[in-house]
Structures are given as C-alpha cells and as structure tokens.
Amino acid sequence: MEMLCEGECKMSIKEAERLSAMRQIDKKILTIKRAREEFGISERQTKLHK
C-alpha cells in the first residue's frame, strides 16, 4: 500500500481503524465480511480487495 504523504500524516481514529482493517484484509488476516461487521466498512470501500 502506497503512502500518500511524506513525513507525518494525520487521520482520525476511525480512519486509522479502517486503514488497519484494510491492511489485515490484504494480509488475509481478516475477511471483508468481518471487516464490514467490526469496522463499519462499506462494500464500496472494500471493492478493490475482491
């Protein structure tokens, strides 16, 4: 996953949780269905990971 900023990036706790979930999906630690349930991630947000 490519970082979009150099140095320090600021994000909300909700954004950080979603980023963590997406990384876990990439590593096959977390399923898309479970991420949607636990983190409230929409289908559109996970569409690239199918």
Compute the distance between CA of residue 2 and CA of residue 25 in angstroms, rounded to an integer. Answer: 16
Tell me the residue range of the domain where 25 lies. 13-49
Q: Is residue 6 part of a domain?
A: no
State the pLDDT at residue 6.
Answer: 66
HSE, CB side, 13 Å, CA atoms: give it for residue 31. 3
Global confidence as pTM: 0.65
Q: Is residue 2 part of a domain?
A: no
Q: Is residue 27 part of a domain?
A: yes
Total domains in the chain come to 1
- Tens of pLDDT along 7-19? 777 888 888 888 8
Q: Is residue 20 part of a domain?
A: yes
Nearest to 44 by CA among 24, 16, 18: 18
